[in-house]
A and B are shown apart, each in its own frame.
Chain A
Amino acid sequence: MQKLKKFFSSSFVWLVMLFFYLPIFYVMVFSFNESKSLTRFTGFSLKWYQKMFETRTIREAIYYTVVIAVLATVISTVIGTVTAIGLSKSKKILRDVVLQVNDIPMMNPDIVTAIGFMLLFSSLNLEKGFWTILLSHIVFCIPYVILSVMPRLRQLDDNLAEAALDLGCTPIQALTMVIIPQLKSAIISGALIAFTMSFDDFVISFFTSGPGISTIAIYVYSSIKRINPTINALSTIIVLIVTVVLIVVNVVPMIKERKKRVAQ
């Protein structure tokens, strides 16, 4: 009986994993397909990878996606962190109101936010393009950073900053040498969330992009009628990059920890 139970619970986990990874695996396999087909594997070939790197529109889409994601991550992390620290020192009523307002963009469906941005930019007569995408990405990333940093701030001792000032720090030093290091893990996780949100956003980018710029998601969407395995090749590379980043983020602290222990 016990064994049976164990069997079921472990096979359930495997099933879930299968559902998670089978589609990704499928996409990867067909990126190596020799023919244009997405359902019939005719032979191994790397030509879709070659085509991906040769096609300028794809290269540009990758370029803009990464640049926007990186910039949006850095800027929204800075703004979000500073806002969170400021809020932790402000009056309760202000803090509560701001945090409530902060939740709205996250709960709001993307499409509403996107159309809001589009109408706003149009009414301001801003030409849609790189800057409008970047601005909107920064805006929708900030709430996630605040949400990630705020709980860690609550755990900090209120007197930490004062102690630092007492011991001769300038206010800036107190911030960068005492408060921020304490928040490091929360900031990193906030930045990671912001990066992934920006990287794979389609709806908001779609409505705020303009002539001369497209992102990976927009490119894939507009090629969907004549789809071919280049899209698979692109997806495979993205999965690989994400995997590598996740491994680095998780393994590097582990190695550091071990080194520390050895040193002790």
Chain B
Amino acid sequence: MKKLLAVLLACAMVLTLAGCGGSEEKSDFDPIAEFGSDTLYVFNWGEYIGENTIENFEKKYNVTVKYNTFDSNEEMYTALLGGDVYDIIVPSDYMVERLIKEEMIQPLDLEALTNIGNIADGLKSPSYDPDHTYSIPYFQGSVGIAYDTTKVTREELEAEGWNILLNEKYKGQIFVYDADRDNFLPALKALGYSANTTNDDEINAAYNWLLKQAETMEPSYGTDEINDEMINGNYALAIVYSGAAAYIMSENEDIEYYEPFQGTNVWSDAMCIPSNAKSPKLALAWINFNLEKDVAIDNSTYVGYTSGHQEALEELSQGEFAGISAYTPRVGYELDETYKDDNNLKAKLAELWVKVKAAK
């Protein structure tokens, strides 16, 4: 018993020491005087920040960052409702819209954000928060088709767009992304409807489109396993996020990325400060810090998603991600849309999607 305890305590002590190892000399900066706080609570997606960003911020401002991660917008939303207090959160577009509606995030002091001019061109006026009153973009991307150039030609894709996913030539060779709303996106767009439609006839038409796909195309449904499958050349066509496509393309030269002419979903994740934040001033400093070019480059290089920072985006598309078209998503295309916050639509689509999968 004692021995076991000793072993366990020894483990704990080693870890404690390891935990303390990172404390190097700090700057003379006095965060209390400047920001009224020296601890920042950040709530971000998993694996969604550069390797050194947190340490660099801590050193620069002589503060401690407490960093938590989440896996979905809904998970983050529930945590906020449950009373968790954070200074920075990074919700996606439609969730920003909901948080604004419910007054759960606070207006930003844009004067304090000296780097605000660096926001990427495509994100200068996002539909969910046109003036950046509440949110500053962090990463962005689109949904598109990753295709294997040894099996599919660009001409075919440009001729058919999303409808290539109904082309029986590729029966058994397509991979459909199984995430809410993204699964209905190809159908709605192929039929010329809005991805935010509330019209039941349009939704039903899209449902029938997907049923046809399920019955005739032998599609595979799934999520991130597609990365390896595409790299290994196991499918001809796959619906993917641009960030995932960029990774696939860097591993397999035969893969290209195409955003259909019927339009697609463009998304962005943005930094916000919750209404109940304890250190809003320090949170502003964090946002401004992430709008610095070097920091944005660090973040984007590590994460592999498209930066919300214009210069970082330009530099990386010439450097780290040169030749990888998926890194620079289409900007300002009229038919591209951002999802609107709509729980009814979401529930309806989820219900129909179950039936689609059952029909396969």
Q: Are B15 and A35 in contact (CB under 8 A)?
A: no
Give A211 to B46 CA distance when docked, in angstroms: 14
Kindly identify which residue among B7, B41, B51 contacts A211, using a CB–CB cutoff of 8 Å.
B41
Give chain A nearest CB distance to B120 CB in angstroms. 21
Say which one of B81-89, B127-135, B293-301, B335-343 lies at the interface with A.
B81-89
Interchain residue pairs with CB less than 8 A apart (6)? A38-B228, A57-B69, A59-B15, A188-B1, A192-B4, A211-B68
Give A221 to B79 CA distance when docked, in angstroms: 15
Within 8 A of B (CB), among A123-143: 125, 127-128
**A6: CB under 8 A from chain B?**
no
Note all chain A residues with C-beta closer than 8 A to B46: 219, 222-226
Bin chain A's interface residue count. Answer: 35 or more
Binding site for B on A (CB under 8 A): 35-40, 51, 53-57, 59-60, 62-63, 66-67, 69-70, 73-74, 118, 122, 125, 127-128, 184, 187-188, 191-192, 195, 209-214, 219, 221-228, 241, 245, 248-249, 252
Within 8 A of A (CB), among B129-166: none
Q: Are A228 and B228 in contact (CB under 8 A)?
A: no
Q: Are A128 and B84 in contact (CB under 8 A)?
A: yes
Give chain A nearest CB distance to B187 CB in angstroms. 24
Give A67 to B228 CA distance when docked, in angstroms: 36
Note all chain B residues with C-beta closer than 8 A to A209: 68
Q: Given A62-B15, A63-B18, are A219 and B69 neighbors across the interface (CB < 8 Å)?
A: yes
Q: Given A56-B22, A226-B48, are A188 and B4 neighbors across the interface (CB < 8 Å)?
A: yes
Q: Are A225 and B8 in contact (CB under 8 A)?
A: no
Give A57 to B66 CA distance when docked, in angstroms: 9
Determine the main DSSP class of A at the interface with B: helix
**B29: CB under 8 A from chain A?**
no
Within 8 A of A (CB), among B1-33: 1, 3-5, 7-9, 11-12, 15-16, 18-19, 22
Q: A35-B251, A128-B82, A222-B71 are in contact. List 12 more A-B contacts (CB 8 A).
A: A37-B228, A59-B15, A66-B8, A67-B15, A192-B4, A211-B84, A212-B66, A222-B46, A222-B70, A224-B71, A225-B71, A226-B46
**B180: CB under 8 A from chain A?**
no
Q: Are B41 and A212 in contact (CB under 8 A)?
A: yes
Note all chain A residues with C-beta closer than 8 A to B9: 70
Note all chain A residues with C-beta closer than 8 A to B8: 66, 69-70, 73, 195
Give A211 to B88 CA distance when docked, in angstroms: 11
Kindly identify which residue among B41, B70, B85, B228 contacts A40, using a CB–CB cutoff of 8 Å.
B228
Give A70 to B7 CA distance when docked, in angstroms: 10
**B254: CB under 8 A from chain A?**
no
Give A108 to B45 CA distance when docked, in angstroms: 31
Note all chain B residues with C-beta closer than 8 A to A245: 4, 7
Give A63 to B43 CA distance when docked, in angstroms: 19
Give A145 to B339 CA distance when docked, in angstroms: 51
Q: Given A37-B231, A40-B228, A59-B18, are A223 and B69 neighbors across the interface (CB < 8 Å)?
A: yes
Note all chain A residues with C-beta closer than 8 A to B303: 226
Give A122 to B68 CA distance when docked, in angstroms: 19
Note all chain B residues with C-beta closer than 8 A to A187: 1
Q: Are A56 and B55 in contact (CB under 8 A)?
A: yes
Q: Are A226 and B47 in contact (CB under 8 A)?
A: yes
Note all chain A residues with C-beta closer than 8 A to B7: 245, 248
Q: Given A63-B18, A70-B12, A188-B1, are A222 and B66 neighbors across the interface (CB < 8 Å)?
A: no
Q: Are B47 and A223 in contact (CB under 8 A)?
A: yes
**B103: CB under 8 A from chain A?**
no
What residue of chain B has the Cβ atom nearest to residue A73's Cβ? B8
Give A55 to B47 CA distance when docked, in angstroms: 10
Binding site for A on B (CB under 8 A): 1, 3-5, 7-9, 11-12, 15-16, 18-19, 22, 41, 43, 45-48, 51, 54-55, 66-71, 75, 82-86, 223-225, 227-228, 231-232, 247, 251, 303
Determine which residue in A51, A55, A118, A226 has the highest number of CB atoms from chain B within 10 A of its CB, and name it.
Answer: A226
What residue of chain A has the Cβ atom nearest to residue B71's Cβ? A222
Note all chain B residues with C-beta closer than 8 A to A56: 22, 54-55, 67
Q: Which 8 A-B pairs have the closest CB atoms?
A: A212-B66, A223-B46, A222-B46, A226-B47, A222-B69, A211-B41, A39-B228, A222-B71
Give chain A nearest CB distance to B148 CB in angstroms. 16
Note all chain B residues with C-beta closer than 8 A to A249: 4
Give A51 to B54 CA distance when docked, in angstroms: 15
Q: Are B4 and A66 in contact (CB under 8 A)?
A: no
Give chain B nearest CB distance to A255 CB in angstroms. 12
Q: Are B4 and A191 in contact (CB under 8 A)?
A: yes
Q: Are A252 and B3 in contact (CB under 8 A)?
A: yes
Q: Given A38-B228, A67-B12, are A211 and B1 neighbors across the interface (CB < 8 Å)?
A: no
Note all chain B residues with C-beta closer than 8 A to A62: 15
Give chain B nearest CB distance to A177 CB in angstroms. 14
Q: Are B84 and A210 in contact (CB under 8 A)?
A: yes
What residue of chain A has the Cβ atom nearest to residue B1's Cβ? A188
Give chain A nearest CB distance to B245 CB in angstroms. 14
Give chain A nearest CB distance to B89 CB in angstroms. 10
Q: Given A66-B12, A128-B83, A211-B84, are A40 and B51 neighbors across the interface (CB < 8 Å)?
A: no
Kindly identify which residue among A54, A125, A214 contacts B69, using a CB–CB cutoff of 8 Å.
A214
